Amino acid sequence: MKVLVLAPKSRYDAFGSDLPAAKLAELVFCDREGTEAEWLAAAGDADALFVTPVTPVSAELISSMPNLKLIHSEGVGFDRIDLEAARARGIYVCNCAGCNAAAVSELSVTLMGMLLHRVLWGNRMVRAGSQAEAVRLVERDVPADLSVSTVGLLGFGAIGQAVAERLRPFGATVYYYAPHRRDTETETRLNARYFPLEELAAVSDIVSLHLPANDQSRGLVNREFLARMKPTAFLVNTARGAIIDDEALCNALREERLAGVALDCYEPEPAGAEHPLVRLAEELPDRLILCPHYGGVAQSAFRAAHRMLFEDLEHVLSGRRPKRVVNGL
């Protein structure tokens, strides 16, 4: 079986699976920034396609690969794949749900702490030779820490639950909103309480996003949602940029209706210098933390993802349905 891989070969050399499918498959590596024509020239006859979560897989590409049986995201996201085109051809689309929960949740909690403790501002003050002044200013306006903060999680899947688990030692109050409420045992174990979306926005000191990008979540954090948040509250997004209405977020920050934001994802990606949030960071350098969408780039995540990739490939090789199908086949 031939697999077209739109990801670095070095990653597979370092974290590749020892499952039989990994040894049996012929892997053809191409630059994910290349063109569809280049990909098709290299392996248009491939039986499977492995892609990063931000790599577009169009209906045209799918229709040009006659042997395709499986499209697999290397991560959790699959919103760049044309699911309907794959479904119409009977091609499985899979993701690696939960593979990066530990890494992304760790970054999420780190960003919460950075916002609360004004790390960008403190770093700038010390670099300017103003450490003593910074301490005096903080003593006059003492910041909250996680132990006295209420954190609202939008989304309570593998990553959202991993965030709740990591917040427990800090003593934060944790609420969550998800389309489907979890069972009492899960809520008790993670010390998290379900709140409706509007109430969660109003009570949270930090809102942290952990939803996939789909028709229900796109633009969910809009002008109305942000208006419900406290002006002292922070927003963290390690999920997908499409969940946020960027214009509404920029306005809320400029008008000081939100204290600060930490982002690890953007819409569109990659975010260039003219992206409105990148431009706003120049204007408000102490209130925006911008990361390059690398929360899931971690050794633990890649090891887990590669195991899932080749486990699903093994199922396809043997004529079975993969475990992690996301397009309803």
Segment 261-277 shows an average pLDDT of: 96
Is 243 exposed, middle or buried, given 0-12, 13-18 or 19+ CB atoms closer than 10 A? buried
CA nearest 104: which of 157, 159, 178? 159
Asked whether residue 60 falls in the same domain as residue 115, the answer is no
Q: Which of 293, 306, 307, 315 is catalytic?
A: 293
Is pLDDT at 17 greater than 90 in this prediction? no
Query: Would you tell me the crossing angle of helices 276-283 and 246-254 to the nearest 10 degrees?
Result: 10
Q: Does pLDDT of 157 surpass 90?
A: yes
- Whether residues 218 and 147 share a domain: the answer is yes
pLDDT at site 124: 97
Of 36, 89, 269, 303, which residue is the catalytic one?
A: 269
pLDDT band at 138 (very low <50, low <70, confident <90, very high): very high
* Active site (annotated) includes residue 185: no
- The domain containing residue 306 runs over which residues? 2-99+298-317
Q: What is the mean pLDDT of the chain?
A: 96
pLDDT tens per residue, range 209-245: 999 989 999 999 999 999 999 999 999 999 999 999 9
Q: Which of 218, 83, 239, 85 is nearest to 159 (CA)?
A: 239
User: Which residues are bridge partners to 5 per DSSP?
Assistant: 29, 50
pLDDT at 280: 97
Query: Residue 16 pLDDT > 90, yes or no?
Result: no
3-state secondary structure of 65: coil
The mean per-residue pLDDT over the stretch 65-89 comes to 96
Q: Residue 18's pLDDT is what?
A: 85
| pLDDT above 90 (res 203) | yes
Tell whether 325 is covered by a domain: no
How far apart, in whole angstroms, are the C-alpha atoms of residue 159 and residue 305? 14
Query: Does a structural domain hold residue 235?
Result: yes
221 forms beta bridges with: 244
Is 210 a catalytic site residue? no
Residues 57-75 have a mean pLDDT of: 97
Instruction: Kindly state whether residue 305 falls inside one of the protein's structural domains.
Output: yes
Q: Could you tell me the two tokens for 254?
A: 């400029």
Stretch 268-293: mean pLDDT: 96
Which candidate in 72, 118, 210, 240 is catalytic? 240
% of residues, the chain, pLDDT over 90:
94
pLDDT of residue 259: 98
| Residue 58 CB neighbours (<10 A) | 13
pLDDT of residue 35: 96
Provide the domain count of the chain. Answer: 2
Residues 66 and 133 in one domain: no
Name the β-bridge partners of 174: 151, 192
Do residues 127 and 249 share a domain? yes
In a domain, 108, yes or no: yes
Q: Name all contacts of 198-202 with Cβ < 8 Å and 24+ positions apart.
A: 198/228, 200/152, 200/154, 200/175, 200/176, 201/152, 201/225, 201/226, 201/228, 201/229, 202/228, 202/229, 202/230
Q: Which ranges in the chain belong to alpha helices (H)?
A: 9-15, 20-24, 36-43, 59-63, 83-88, 101-116, 119-127, 131-140, 158-167, 184-190, 197-203, 223-228, 246-254, 276-283, 299-317
- Identify whether 293 is a catalytic site residue: yes
> What does the pLDDT read at residue 84?
96
